[in-house]
């Protein structure tokens, strides 16, 4: 959808939420709005724009600029329309002689302290101050007194002395500038940082003439302050005071295309604001239902990787991985790949090649990649990186509720009274959701955090967790089961809900299981490290505190008992009747942007699109009749199984789209050995990544700006991705897969991704109603979207569970084999940080590195001292799988006995250390627990050095003679 630039109209304040409607007259026009709405908003809905400066509809009204004055019949004075609520029968005038004069006066005062450099200003043409000066008809500015007192914008005063009020530009943030000389102190930025983002990085320092917007303390600049660079203040600023550096450089955009962020599972909608085919800036889209006009630093600013010189724009091949790459034509590369894949199948059988779909690519692309495996390779060897993050969610929620997806939309958090966050770090991993969560917490909802590490949410400005359960890594099941024990033992369960909605026999069995005193928090304390009393209080709060929502992340799934924990979480919600209502539910926070979609699209080796097992004849028949092939009824290989089979010699070819398995999968040396054993590894990506060091074919990928498609976010919301520029390497990713299929002998004939979506809708019941037309009309829909729910389904399991009766399942705690012992006494757990994303291939190629230029090992002061490690020292970290080195950061965020690191940088190779342990049900790797030892070291390990030498050699390209 291309929308005329700027602006979705800013109506100044939010609409009231009351059910009572009120009718008033504004300038002779009748308008009806909910009680509690401001006059300004009501006027705007009647298409009357009252002049304003400090009001914007992303924020609460503030009433400081006095530009929005109106007159109300029968009332004295000239109240500000942004702060005055409507009343029934009110008669409002917005344009009278008196108002005009007053407004001119207000503007004159503002402009007398404002540099008049509109023509060379970055906001020229996109400035509310300029607009308002025009709107009120300001023609001259008299206040010379201001100039005498000293303005805020002149470096020297009229006497030639330094002007103490002048502050220079702060350009420390890599993405936006702060120019105090243009500030009108409307506080929109300060309020945006508080209300929308919840970081409280900005304040108004000083009073009266002295008041200034200030980031952090007087010694700070933007960069050193608490600012997380979300951009909310930049959007809120009506002037050029806070402005994107890209706008300063390029100029204002001329059109805007609504699309979806390609980073995390929140799936924020953005306006890609363009000039020609140049992207000027990304601005969060106010009508985006996942993000409601907010964003984080990654989506808002870190898109520069799409233009990075490292991008590979020509296909490349090589016979052996120790040779340099050769640039070739698309035809040659695809022909080479097809020939090799067919050769492997001829020699080793049909099931000897496979694909890995990407959770970063669109639904349509993912659908085609699994179709390539099922319909062209004729096997089910398709898997996705979701294997390594959320496959246990699919299994656990499928078994208990009957569908493998989160139950709520993000809006639901606005109704929650208690929020239980388990194994997730939303402020870093899902920042926009975190902002919405924090907003609710500031309104009084209670928070329980279950995490080995003291994540930011536990205590941040104006938010504090009621309980933090710092469990030992690997004991989630014990904690969740103990909570259920407390609920049952103290009779806090919602028996009516259980009787009505859940399977009685399964519940009776579960009750017997969970009531056993061996699950009591006191009995589990030894194992979990969580004080029994804290756990009891948390359980009581969850069960009795009102609407209780659970949000969980990879800290739940990436364990040997990941699926069991998901089941335990589902049990908790059923036990307390927290399913099927607003403000409650079970919500997985998905890692990458399209994890949900890649699972929905049949990426898993046992499931056709729509979660139907391949063993079912009726499910296969739907695709067989459409594709004209016989589909293999046997489950295929999962990613770790592919590696094992490659080492066995029974698997030799892999098409890997948009994933860097060498960096993201555990036990790197095992992965590397497996890839080295294959005869044809095809990497389809933007950059030469770690996996491509072991590849024979490189196919250039397209960024999300270069293609059409859809992403499905963690709330099951299908959002459009829209092409704003031509693919730089000629083909969008879906076209490349189609060409590969053609090279293998199967013509598909799609001419646009919408045709792929039509096929998905025709074959997959939960997508039956989805078309590009509907998405155009609604903006987005949440599946299931079919005849019963033609506009999609914001909340699942409302009347009853998808599987019929909810099923309680026993969740016995089984200790992971990964235990600390004398050789490896510490437990390593891993995570991510805000400014980087996954393996960092994109974010490392942006200015985001200013916040995180290396991975660090967090270690408790006690453990550090025992080992003679000082802050910033190089340390060696070793597990039974391997060892690596990185620098230490001493902090009590991690408990003694636990160490923590991120995995964004390839040089760190944190996954050299992680083991091949995995979830019992899904083989999702156990990233979150590895027994390790830490010791001081002098620098990179042998492995790291060998690895980087090899990587360098493997990346050589022989450029074709021009």
Name the minimum Å distance from CB 926 to another protein.
11
| Contact predicate 900/858, CB 8 Å | yes
Count the site residues for ligand FES by CB under 6 A.
12
Please, what is the minimum distance in Å from the beta carbon of residue 227 to ligand SF4?
A: 3
Please say whether the beta carbons of 295 and 846 come within 8 A: no
Lookup: tokens for 669: 């040396």
Q: Which of 107, 678, 757, 761 binds another protein (CB under 8 A)?
A: 678
Q: Quick check: 829 and 553 in contact, CB under 8 A?
A: no
67 binds, among ligand FES, ligand SF4, another protein, none (CB under 5 to 8 A by kind): ligand FES
Residue 613 near another protein by CB under 8 A: yes
Site for ligand FES in 47-66 (CB under 6 A): 52-55, 63-66
Question: Which SS3 state, helix, strand or coil, does residue 702 take?
Answer: coil
Stretch that binds ligand SF4, among 221-229, 285-293, 498-506, 669-677 (CB under 6 A): 221-229
Q: Which residues contact 849 (CB under 8 A, 6 or more apart)?
A: 843
Collapse the DSSP code of 319 into the 3-class scheme (helix H, G, I; strand E, B; otherwise coil) and give the result: coil
Residue with smaller CB distance to another protein, 557 or 703? 557
Q: How far apart are CA 730 and CA 711, in angstroms?
A: 22
Contact pick of 40, 61, 107, 185 for ligand SF4 (by CB under 6 A): 185
Asked if residue 679 binds another protein (CB under 8 A), the reply is: yes
Q: Which of 183, 266, 550, 781 binds ligand SF4 (CB under 6 A)?
A: 183
Q: Smallest distance from the beta carbon of 431 to ligand SF4, in angstroms?
A: 10
Residue 148, Cβ neighbours under 10 Å: how many?
A: 11
186 binds ligand SF4 (CB under 6 A): yes
**Closest distance to another protein from the beta carbon of 923 (Å):** 7
For 552, the token pair is 């969980």
Rg, the chain, Cα only: 29
Closest CA to 209 of 130, 282, 151, 144: 151
- 423, two tokens: 């194994």
Tell me which long-range contacts 872-875 makes (C-beta under 8 A, separation of at least 24): 873/936, 874/936, 874/937, 874/938, 874/939, 875/934, 875/935, 875/936, 875/937
Least Å distance, CB 62 to ligand SF4, is 10
Partner whose binding site includes residue 677, from ligand SF4, ligand FES, another protein, none (CB under 5 to 8 Å by kind): another protein
User: Which residues from 79-98 bind ligand FES, rule CB under 6 A?
Assistant: 80, 82
Cα dihedral value 505, 509, 512, 515, nearest 10: -100
- Binding segment for another protein among 179-187, 509-517, 824-832, 870-878 (CB under 8 A)? 509-517
Is position 636 an interface residue for another protein (rule: CB under 8 A)? yes
Phi, psi (deg, nearest 5) at residue 10:
-90, 110
CB 654 within 8 A of CB 643: no
Q: How many Å apart are CA 100 and CA 718, to the nearest integer?
A: 47
Q: Which is nearer to ligand SF4, 851 or 920 (CB)?
A: 851
- Is the CB of residue 200 less than 8 Å from the CB of residue 461? yes
Q: In the range 77-106, which residues lie near another protein by CB under 8 A?
A: none
Residue with tokens 């066995």: 648
Judged by CB, which is closer to another protein: 634, or 952? 634
Among 31, 82, 230, 671, binds ligand SF4 (CB under 6 A): 230
Q: Identify what 52 binds: another protein, ligand FES, ligand SF4, none; CB under 5 to 8 Å per kind.
A: ligand FES
Contacts of 664 (CB under 8 A, 6+ apart): 385, 388, 838, 839, 903, 911
Which tokens belong to 299? 């989506």
- Binding residue for ligand SF4, selected from 78, 80, 187, 692, defined by CB under 6 A: 187
Residue closer to ligand FES, measured from CB, 194 or 503: 194
Name the token pair of 78.
């000239």
Q: Which does 82 bind (CB under 5 to 8 A by kind): ligand FES, another protein, ligand SF4, none?
A: ligand FES
65's contact among ligand FES, another protein, ligand SF4, none, with CB below 5 to 8 A by partner kind, is ligand FES
Instruction: Give CA–CA dist 141/207, Å, rounded.
Output: 24
- Encoding tokens for residue 796? 């699942």
Q: Is 233 in the site for ligand SF4 (CB under 6 A)?
A: yes
- Cβ atoms of 531 and 482 within 8 Å: the answer is no
Cα angle 535, 539, 545; round to 5: 135
Question: Taking CB under 8 A as the rule, which mask of x and - marks residues 328-357 in contact with another protein?
Answer: -------------------xxxxx------
Q: Could you tell me the two tokens for 251?
A: 């100029």
H helix runs in 649-801, sequence order: 661-664, 668-676, 733-743, 753-763, 772-778
Adjacency order of strands within the sheet including 548-552: 467-469, 446-450, 418-422, 548-552, 585-588
Exposed, middle or buried by CB within 10 Å (0-12, 13-18, 19+), for 494? middle
The strand pair at 874-878 and 883-890 is best described as: antiparallel
Q: Does 564 bind another protein (CB under 8 A)?
A: yes
Cβ contact 882:668 at 8 Å: yes
Query: What is the rounded CA–CA span in Å between residue 482 and residue 488?
Result: 10
Of 239-247, 421-429, 816-824, 863-871, which part binds ligand SF4 (CB under 6 A)? 239-247
> Residue 349 touches which of ligand FES, ligand SF4, another protein, none (CB < 5 to 8 A by kind)?
another protein
Sheet with 780-782: list strands edge to edge. 709-712, 717-721, 780-782
* Closest C-alpha among 52, 51, 58, 148 to residue 95: 51
* 454 in contact with ligand FES (CB under 6 A): no
> How many other CB atoms are found less than 10 A from the CB of residue 321?
18
Q: Collapsing DSSP states into helix, strand and coil, what is residue 463?
A: strand
To 10 degrees, the CA torsion angle through 567, 571, 572, 574? Answer: 140
Kindly write out the interface string for residues 640-659 of this chain, putting x where it contacts another protein by CB under 8 A and - elsewhere. -x--xx-xxxx-x-------
Here's the x/- map for another protein, 288-327, by CB under 8 A: it reads as -------------------------------xxxx-----
Q: Which of ligand SF4, another protein, ligand FES, none does 227 bind, CB closer than 5 to 8 A by kind?
A: ligand SF4
203 scored as a contact of ligand SF4 (CB under 6 A): no
Please report how close the Cβ of residue 84 comes to ligand FES at its closest, in angstroms.
9
Residues 907-936 within binding reach of another protein (CB under 8 A): 916, 918, 920-923
Task: Dihedral sign for Cα 186, 192, 198, 200, please.
Answer: negative
Number of residues interacting with ligand SF4: please give it, by CB under 6 A: 39
Query: In sequence order, what are the beta bridge partners of 72?
Result: 92
425 touching another protein, by CB under 8 A: no
Q: Which of 174, 238, 293, 605 binds another protein (CB under 8 A)?
A: 605
d(CA 124, CA 131): 10
Q: Nearer Cβ to another protein, position 533 or 648?
A: 648
In the complex with ligand SF4, the residue whose CB is nearer, 33 or 107, is: 107
Find which of ligand FES, ligand SF4, another protein, none residue 641 binds, CB within 5 to 8 Å per kind. Answer: another protein
| Residue of the chain from 106, 132, 146, 236 that contacts ligand SF4 (CB under 6 A) | 236
DSSP-derived secondary structure letter, 30: E
Binding to ligand SF4 (CB under 6 A) within 109-148 occurs at 114-115, 117-118, 121, 123-124, 127, 129-130
The reply on whether position 67 binds ligand FES by CB under 6 A is yes
* x/- map, 697-716, ligand FES, by CB under 6 A: --------------------
Specify the residue for token string 């590195």: 849
Which residues of the chain form contacts with ligand SF4 (CB under 6 A)? 114-115, 117-118, 121, 123-124, 127, 129-130, 182-189, 192-193, 197, 199, 201-202, 213, 227-233, 236-242
Which residues of the chain form contacts with ligand FES (CB under 6 A)? 52-55, 63-68, 80, 82
Which residues of the chain form contacts with another protein (CB under 8 A)? 319-322, 347-351, 380-381, 509, 512-513, 560, 563-564, 605-606, 613, 615, 632-638, 641, 644-645, 647-650, 652, 673, 676-679, 810-812, 814, 916, 918, 920-923
């Amino acid at each position: 959808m291309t929308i005329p630039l700027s602006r979705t109209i800013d109506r100044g304040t939010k609409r009231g939420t009351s059910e009572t409607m009120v009718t008033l007259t504004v300038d002779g026009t009748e308008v009806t709005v909910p009680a509690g709405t401001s006059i300004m908003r009501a006027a705007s809905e009647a298409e009357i724009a009252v002049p304003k400066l400090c009001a914007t509809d992303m924020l609460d009204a503030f009433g400081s600029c006095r530009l929005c004055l109106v007159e109300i019949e029968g009332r004295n004075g000239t109240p500000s329309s942004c702060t005055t609520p409507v009343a029934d029968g009110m008669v409002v005038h917005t344009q009278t002689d008196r108002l005009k004069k007053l407004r001119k006066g207000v503007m004159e005062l503002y402009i007398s302290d404002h540099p008049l450099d509109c023509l060379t200003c970055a906001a020229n043409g996109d400035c509310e101050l300029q607009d308002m000066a025009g709107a009120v008809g300001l023609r001259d500015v008299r206040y010379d007194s201001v100039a005498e007192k000293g303005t805020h914008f002149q470096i020297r005063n009229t006497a030639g002395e330094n002007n103490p009020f002048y502050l220079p530009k702060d350009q420390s943030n890599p993405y936006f500038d702060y120019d105090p000389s243009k500030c009108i102190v409307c506080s929109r930025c300060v309020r945006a940082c508080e209300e929308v983002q919840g970081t409280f990085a900005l304040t108004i320092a000083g009073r009266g003439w002295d008041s200034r917007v200030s980031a952090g303390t007087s010694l700070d600049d933007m960069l050193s302050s608490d600012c997380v660079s979300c951009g909310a203040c930049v959007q809120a600023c009506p002037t050029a005071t806070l402005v994107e550096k890209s706008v300063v450089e390029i100029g204002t955009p001329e059109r805007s295309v609504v699309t979806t962020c390609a980073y995390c599972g929140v799936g924020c909608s953005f306006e890609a604001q363009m000039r020609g085919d140049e992207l000027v800036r990304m601005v969060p889209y106010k009508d985006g239902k996942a993000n409601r006009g907010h964003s984080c630093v990654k989506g808002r600013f870190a898109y520069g990787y799409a233009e990075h010189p490292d991008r590979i724009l020509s296909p490349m091949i090589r016979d052996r991985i120790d040779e340099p790459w050769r640039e070739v034509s698309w035809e040659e590369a695809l022909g080479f790949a097809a020939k090799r894949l067919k050769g492997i199948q001829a020699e080793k059988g049909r099931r000897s090649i496979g694909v890995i779909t990407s959770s970063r690519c669109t639904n349509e692309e993912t659908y085609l990649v699994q179709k390539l495996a099922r319909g062209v390779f004729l096997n089910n060897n398709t898997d996705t990186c979701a294997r390594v993050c959320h496959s246990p969610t699919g299994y656990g929620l499928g078994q208990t509720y009957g569908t493998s997806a989160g139950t709520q939309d993000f809006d639901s958090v606005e109704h929650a009274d208690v929020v239980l966050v388990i194994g997730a770090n939303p402020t870093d991993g899902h920042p926009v959701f975190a902002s919405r969560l924090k907003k609710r917490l500031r309104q009084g909802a209670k928070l329980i955090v279950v995490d080995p590490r003291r994540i930011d949410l536990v205590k941040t400005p104006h938010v504090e967790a009621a309980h933090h359960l710092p469990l030992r890594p690997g004991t989630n099941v014990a904690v969740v089961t103990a909570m259920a024990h407390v609920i049952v033992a103290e009779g806090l369960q919602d028996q009516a809900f259980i009787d009505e909605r859940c399977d009685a026999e399964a519940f009776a069995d579960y009750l017997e299981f969970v009531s056993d005193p061996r699950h009591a928090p006191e009995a589990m304390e030894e194992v979990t490290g969580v004080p029994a009393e804290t756990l009891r209080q948390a359980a009581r709060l969850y069960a009795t505190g009102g609407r209780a929502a659970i949000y969980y992340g990879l800290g739940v799934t990436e364990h040997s008992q990941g699926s069991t924990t998901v089941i335990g979480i589902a049990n908790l919600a059923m036990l307390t009747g927290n399913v099927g209502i607003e403000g409650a539910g079970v919500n997985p926070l998905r890692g990458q942007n399209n994890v949900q979609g890649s699972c929905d699209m049949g990426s898993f080796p046992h499931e056709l699109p729509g979660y139907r097992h391949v063993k079912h004849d009726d499910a296969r028949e739907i695709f067989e009749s459409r594709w004209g092939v016989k589909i293999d009824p046997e489950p295929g290989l999962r990613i770790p199984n592919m590696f094992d089979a490659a080492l066995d010699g029974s698997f030799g070819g892999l098409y890997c789209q948009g994933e860097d398995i060498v960096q993201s999968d555990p036990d790197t040396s095992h992965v590397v050995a497996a890839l080295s054993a294959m005869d044809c590894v095809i990497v389809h990506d933007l950059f030469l990544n770690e996996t491509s060091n072991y590849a024979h074919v490189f196919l250039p990928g397209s960024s999300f700006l270069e293609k059409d498609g859809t992403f499905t976010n963690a709330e099951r919301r299908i959002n459009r991705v829209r092409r704003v520029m031509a693919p730089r390497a000629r083909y969008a990713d879906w076209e490349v897969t189609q060409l590969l299929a053609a090279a293998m002998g199967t013509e598909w004939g799609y001419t646009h991704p919408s045709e792929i979506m039509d096929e998905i809708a025709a074959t997959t019941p939960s997508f039956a109603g989805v078309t590009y037309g509907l998405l155009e009309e609604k903006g987005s829909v949440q599946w299931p979207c079919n005849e019963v729910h033609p506009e999609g389904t914001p909340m699942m399991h409302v009347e009853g569970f998808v599987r019929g009766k909810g099923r309680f399942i026993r969740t016995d705690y089984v200790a992971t084999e990964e235990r600390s012992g004398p050789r490896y006494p510490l437990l390593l757990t891993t995570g991510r940080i805000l400014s980087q994303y996954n393996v960092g291939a994109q974010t490392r190629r942006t200015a985001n590195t200013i916040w995180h230029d290396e991975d660090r090992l967090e270690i408790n002061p006690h453990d550090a001292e025992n080992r003679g490690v000082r802050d910033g020292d190089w340390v060696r970290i070793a597990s039974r799988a391997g060892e690596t080195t990185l620098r230490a950061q001493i902090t009590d965020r991690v408990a003694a006995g636990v160490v923590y690191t991120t995995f964004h940088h390839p040089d760190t190779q944190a996954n050299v250390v992680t083991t091949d342990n995995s979830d019992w049900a899904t083989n999702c790797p156990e990233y979150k627990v590895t027994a390790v030892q830490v010791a001081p070291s002098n620098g990179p390990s042998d492995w790291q050095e060998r690895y980087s030498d090899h990587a360098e050699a493997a990346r050589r390209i022989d450029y074709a003679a021009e």
